[in-house]
Amino acid sequence: MNRLRQSLINSLFPALLVLVCITVVHFFAEPFQVRVAYVFFMNLTIAIGLQIFMGNTGIVSFGHISFMGIGSYAVAILTIPLAMKRILIPDAPFGLAYVHLSIFPACVVAIAFTVLIATLFGFVLKRLTGNAAEILTLALLVITHVVFIAWIDLFRGPRALYGIPIVSTLYWAGAAAIVAIVIAKAFRDSEGGLQLRASSENLLAARAMGVPVEKLRFRAWILSSGVVAMGGILHATFLGTVGPNSYYFDQTFLIMAMVILGGMRSVSGAIIGTALVAAGSELARTLENGPVIFGEKLPTMFGLTGFFLGAVIVLSMILRRDGIMGDDEFEDVFHRWMRRRKEENSGKPSAVSTSSAS
Amino acid sequence: MLQLKNIVVQYGVVKAVRDVSLHVGKGEIVSLLGPNGAGKTSLVSAAVGILPKAAGTVTFEGRNITRCAVEQVVTFGLTLTPEGRRVFADLSVAENLHLGAATRKDRAEVAEDIDRYLKMFPILSERFHQTAKTLSGGEQQMLAIARSLMSRPKLLMLDEPSLGLAPRIVDRIFELMIELKKTGLTMLVVEQNATEALRISDRGYIMAGGTLVYEGEAAALAESEDLMEHYLGGGVAA
């Protein structure tokens, strides 16, 4: 209970950052900037979901974006009005063409269904380590993509599903991000989270201590799939349309760049990485279109955003493999800074002990 | 207390341990000696269930634990301190100690145990909040042993506790084992440093090339120069 309270307290600062960000956007932003902020919170939710798994197990996952896709498609299929569904997917199996839920139950079902898929896949994954596990997650991404494209009766194949009620707002996205942060921090600080992090550092020693590595890995996988599904729901209910290509390599690399740049072992790192990559891609997108700066028309540079993401991953691999934050959370940096300040104020530690003794 | 019967450990087609049987009695310190590659680490890892056994049975306190998972074996009171000071380098000393109690649910007593081992290893209490990688080799070995003790073992297996440590530190570690023996702890010590290990042991086994080549009283083993020379001195397995 004590650990939980501590990690709730430690979640306050990042949660406050999100709230400040929302407030600023609410009062000062143009509509297109609101859209940028919404996408930022959505990506933040997904990046933190990915961090829950990658950060604690040390296994790189290319597969989490499929959970985003499954969550999106599930909520889409459940909430598109029946009349529209009769046109889009009249032959949907399991009578899904005649099922309609209002938005909240649909979200719950979508998350539950994503978690169910993750559970089935998790039985295979938890037995594997290292490269084998990573390649398996890549396979998951490809399999889901192929299912979205090939199961035309249900997903309408490569063409988009549309007509999803656009009900999500910036505030929902912000709330989802905060929920994700709290879940991630609580899991990281929990007994199981600590044991899992230890096992990612030294599997043999952790197993010798009796750490149930497989069970904990499974738990992280399930938990992260649910959080990422939340991000998928944010995506579908904001755009009103879902298509298979939104949940493939582009999105995977965007989120990977965010988590790797910030430092995958830290929740705070995921937040910083998401902010930097979002700002960077926004800048790259502007430059891509050849803006006019100081009366000079810059050339259009198609593909600059993709190049930027690649560069971020390459540079952080070369310069700082552990990412900006490494193992540290915001509170660790804060405590260290406080300690250093205290030492500076009190002068040499030895001088203090003699003066207190006399 | 611990009985290994006809254990076989296999890596693909290579047999690392062939048909080895040994036992450890309550309250004893038993050393398992032998040159590099003799199969000692494979044998103890298989005994606690980290490595799969191709054949053989393991009995601990009358209970057959051959098929048990490691986390279960640890709760029965059989713990292995793996070779090479495998502390969690990026975690603090405190977190390392907590992890030793991974299988325990009694939080209050875990805290008490931490206090006890900090008294036993004062250096760890000085470095309580530092990450384990900032500790010296000897300190890390102390931490690894304290961490294993956190699981409240009845029998502790120490895999090469003296590996790569300065002679003075090695002496400290072996003195510590004598102290632990007085508290009633049973130990199986895997060592290449035969002379030191035999000095504190009651009995000893010598392994070479995956099989047991000799067993006997520690004193007798230490005196038999031929044996020591042949299997341990030259470092050449039979």
Question: DSSP letter string over B89-126?
Answer: TTSBHHHHHHHHTTT---HHHHHHHHHHHHHHSHHHHH
Helices (H), chain B: 40-48, 70-76, 93-100, 107-120, 122-126, 137-149, 167-182, 194-200, 218-223, 225-227
Report whether A276 contacts A86 (CB < 8 A).
Answer: no
How many residue contacts between A and B have a Cβ separation below 8 Å? 70
Please give the Cα distance from B66 to B84 (Å, whole number): 25
Contact A201 B50 (CB under 8 A): no
pLDDT at A5 over 50: yes
Please give the Cα distance from B202 to B217 (Å, whole number): 6
From the list B75, B99, B144, the residue facing A198 with the nearest CB is B99
From the list B89, B95, B102, the residue facing A210 with the nearest CB is B102
CB-side neighbour CA atoms (13 Å) of A202: 21
From the list B71, B79, B96, the residue facing A212 with the nearest CB is B71
pLDDT at B224: 79
Q: Which residues of B touch A210 (CB under 8 A)?
A: 70-75, 79, 102-103, 151
Domain map (residue ranges) of chain B: 2-233
Contact B99 A202 (CB under 8 A): no
**Which residues, other chains included, contact A25 with Cβ-Cβ below 8 Å and sequence gap of 6+?**
A33, A34, A37, A170
pLDDT tens digits, one per residue of A218-267: 999 999 999 999 999 999 999 999 999 999 998 999 999 999 999 999 99
Please give the Cα distance from A303 to A311 (Å, whole number): 12
Contact A209 B151 (CB under 8 A): yes
pLDDT at A354: 38
How many other β-carbons are positioned within 10 Å of the β-carbon of residue A123?
10
In the predicted model, what is the mean pLDDT of residues B115-129? 90
Q: Which residues of A touch B95 (CB under 8 A)?
A: 194, 198
pLDDT at A350: 44
pLDDT at A345: 83
Give φ, ψ of B157 to 5 degrees: -100, 125
Contact A210 B75 (CB under 8 A): yes
pLDDT tens digits, one per residue of A108-158: 999 999 999 999 999 989 888 788 999 999 999 999 999 999 998 889 988
From the list A205, A207, A210, the residue facing B88 with the nearest CB is A205
Report whether B119 contacts B97 (CB < 8 A).
Answer: no
In the predicted model, what is the mean pLDDT of residues A27-39? 90
Please give the Cα distance from A204 to A227 (Å, whole number): 30
**Which residues, other chains included, contact A38 with Cβ-Cβ below 8 Å and sequence gap of 6+?**
A168, A169, A170, A173, A234, A238
pLDDT tens digits, one per residue of A162-210: 989 999 999 999 999 999 999 999 999 999 999 999 999 888 899 999 8
pLDDT tens digits, one per residue of A127-138: 887 889 999 999
- How high does pLDDT run on average in chain B? 89
pLDDT at A356 over 50: no
What is the torsion angle, in degrees rounded to the nearest 10, for the CA atoms of residue A327, residue A67, residue A258 and residue A5?
-40
Report whether A18 contacts A178 (CB < 8 A).
Answer: yes
- Going by their DSSP bridges, the two strands B63-64 and B55-60 should be labelled as antiparallel
- How high does pLDDT run on average in chain A? 89
From the list B73, B79, B82, the residue facing A204 with the nearest CB is B82
pLDDT at A352 over 60: no
- Going by their DSSP bridges, the two strands A292-293 and A241-242 should be labelled as unpaired
**Which residues, other chains included, contact B73 with Cβ-Cβ below 8 Å and sequence gap of 6+?**
A210, B48, B49, B60, B65
pLDDT at B235: 42
Which of A129, A209, A266 best probes binding to B when mutated, by most B CB atoms within 10 angstroms? A209
Contact A210 B70 (CB under 8 A): yes
The first and second tokens of residue A269, run together, are 């790192």
In the predicted model, what is the mean pLDDT of residues A352-357? 38
Is residue B99 less than 8 Å (CB to CB) from chain A? yes
From the list B70, B75, B90, the residue facing A208 with the nearest CB is B70
Comparing CA positions, the residue from B104, B149, B103 lying closest to residue B124 is: B149
Is residue A128 less than 8 Å (CB to CB) from chain B? no
pLDDT at B57: 94
**Which residues, other chains included, contact B167 with Cβ-Cβ below 8 Å and sequence gap of 6+?**
none
In the predicted model, what is the mean pLDDT of residues A7-15? 90
Q: Please tell me the class of the B2-233 domain.
A: alpha beta
Q: Which residues of A touch B100 (CB under 8 A)?
A: 209
Q: What is the 3-state secondary structure (H, E, C) of A252-277?
A: HHHHHHHHHHHCCCCHHHHHHHHHHH
pLDDT at A69 over 80: yes
pLDDT at A271 over 90: yes
- Going by their DSSP bridges, the two strands B186-191 and B203-208 should be labelled as unpaired
Contact A210 B71 (CB under 8 A): yes
In this predicted structure, which of A272-286, B61-75, B213-227 has the lowest mean pLDDT? B213-227
Please give the Cα distance from A326 to A338 (Å, whole number): 19
Q: What residue of A is the nearest CA neighbor of B89?
A: A201
Residue with tokens 């002496």: B171
What is the torsion angle, in degrees rounded to the nearest 10, for the CA atoms of residue B210, residue B213, residue B218 and residue B223?
-130
pLDDT at A84: 87
Q: Which residues of A touch B151 (CB under 8 A)?
A: 209-210
Is residue A204 less than 8 Å (CB to CB) from chain B? yes
pLDDT at B238: 35
In the predicted model, what is the mean pLDDT of residues A3-19? 89
In the predicted model, what is the mean pLDDT of residues B42-57? 93
What does the DSSP 8-state code read for residue B231?
I
Comparing CA positions, the residue from A65, A69, A54 lying closest to residue A259 is: A54
The first and second tokens of residue A207, run together, are 């197993």
Please give the Cα distance from B236 to A17 (Å, whole number): 64
